[in-house]
Amino acid sequence: MNKVTLVIMDGVGITKEEYGNAVMKANTPNLDKLMSKYPNTLINAHGTYVGLSSNSDMGNSEVGHNAMGCGQVYSQGAKLVNEAIESGDLFKGSTWKKLIDFCKDNNTLHFIGLLSDGNVHSHINHLFAMLDEAKNAGVKKVRVHILLDGRDVEEKSALKYVSMLEEKLNSLNDSNFNGMIASGGGRMAVTMDRYEANWDIVEKGWNAHVLGNARKFHSARDAILTYRNEEDATDQFMDSFVIVDKNNNPIGTISDGDSVIFYNFRGDRAIEISRAFDDIEFDKFDRIRVPKVMYAGMLQYDSDFNIPKLYLTEPPKIKNTLTEELCKYNIREYAISETQKYGHVTYFWNGNRLDKVDEKLETYEKIDSDIIPFEKKPEMKAYEITDKLIDAIKSNKYDFLRCNFPNGDMVGHTGNFLATVKAVEAVDDNIGRIMREVENDNSILIVMADHGNAEEMYQLKDREKIIPKTSHTTNKVPFIIYGNNLDNIKIKEGEFSLANLAATITTLFDIEKNPNWLESIIEKK
């Protein structure tokens, strides 16, 4: 049986466009060699190819790893929520009714979430639809706690979305309904931490949204303009703020008897704040005051640990994953990344489940990420990941090994072009190290990506002024096979996506693909 190693270059797409292309600018001798001398193709990693609403939707790491790990296309994120809203099922469900009944007499319905139309973590239209239904259902008081994006949308676009929300609330407000923005902050500084990388971010959100403890302003607009003037802060890194009345009192703290909806549909950056509301034995920071509220997420972000207990939209029920199939054949697996993407090669890869399919056949390893701005150390933990991965290959304990290098994505999100170039170079250097080990091992290496980012670092629509682009892209990503004996392997003709990977892996292992999967990208001659 062949040994197969999979390297996922997170956020490394391919485009012929040179402007702002950190992948093209980087010195990448190993990637260049792979794409010029070994079987390769470009595959789709966005839109309907990974279960999103349309092909204008950028791919992301979560849906990407779902697709790679299950060989199928499931309705994901925004598409799931869109379907639930359009059908009315979201508002007919028991959770929505419980939330409304809990707070509608004399208490407040709170919405917390990312305020943008980036469609990766949330969409402003989902919030608007719920605001409409809340008023129709008799809710009298609503407060919105806004997390500023600047990552999946333009880096200084917050005022656009604040204006949209203010207009919506003004259109609804009357003698029977009062809706206002209550607090907020940038997504990378407030509330939306993931993988327990920095609980201080969640604490800062709790203090603002629940306790009303943050810098005080009389409007969200005032807060954003002040932080920009004082710190030249981009939206995603903006500090927390609280909106106060003329007496300097917070207008919307979360209190006993209130209902709270966290309206992000993506799970990774929603789990920790959900735990803060839901977990009776929570001990990650001192919450000071824990109000008796009814809390729900847009989806259930972790079904294994029931986080949160209440949710508005059913997540995709992913079955027949690659890991399930490989375990039937006693194929031993090893997965590694650093904190920022560890959940992607484990939880998301295995169909949104934290537990292993078979404890004896699966080994996971996490390298702790540094808690510093990613542009300060663009190599991140790539060398440490590679050290461990090479040790695992040499050990002969595993048949299928996979790793994720977060660099292209995490550094790409900072908008720092030169740092992203260095990030891509670090990934390439470590791919070279893995290539040499795979060659010595006489095994097979697959190099690919989960979505684009680093290849499009500037806004393409305005070239007279360099405007950083911090979001993902809709560009295709590479798929490459490397090894000593590839004469019998041929890339098929056709259009492929991340979801074709699972069948490709089983082809390399000479076992049958699951009948529910898409076809393999390769064929053996």
Catalytic residues: 61
- Beta bridge mates, 109: 142, 259
CB 184 within 8 A of CB 146: yes
Residue 344 per-residue DSSP state: I
CA atoms within 13 A on the CB side of 24: 11
Beta strands in 300-442 (DSSP E): 311-313, 333-338, 362-367, 400-405
- 3-state secondary structure at position 200: helix
Which of these, 13, 261, 228, lies nearest to 113 by C-alpha position?
A: 261
- Beta bridge mates, 468: 458
Estimate the crossing angle of helix 61-70 against helix 501-508, to 10 degrees. 40
Sign of CA dihedral 194, 197, 199, 200: negative
Which of these, 516, 100, 502, 82, lies nearest to 323 by C-alpha position?
A: 502
For residue 308, cis peptide bond before it (omega within 30 degrees of 0): yes
- Which tokens hold the place of 186? 């940038």
Q: Any idea what the Cα angle at residue 501 is, between residues 432 and 33, rounded to 5°?
A: 25
- Report the C-alpha gap between 453 and 468 in whole angstroms: 12
- 3-state secondary structure at position 182: strand
- Which tokens hold the place of 433? 């190290």
- Report the C-alpha gap between 198 and 189 in whole angstroms: 10
- Beta bridge mates, 250: 244
Helix, strand, coil tally for the chain in percent (to 5): 35, 20, 45
- Beta bridge mates, 274: none
Which of these, 518, 427, 516, lies nearest to 478 by C-alpha position?
A: 427
CB 368 within 8 A of CB 406: no
CB 427 within 8 A of CB 408: yes
Q: Which positions ≥6 away from 201 have C-beta within 8 Å?
A: 188, 189, 190, 191, 192, 193
Beta strands in 263-419 (DSSP E): 294-299, 311-313, 333-338, 362-367, 400-405
CB 141 within 8 A of CB 107: yes
Q: β-strands 362-367, 400-405: how paired?
A: unpaired
- Which tokens hold the place of 156? 């200084």
Written as one string, the DSSP assignment of 246-283 is: TTS-BS----TT-EEEE----STTTHHHHHHHH-TT--
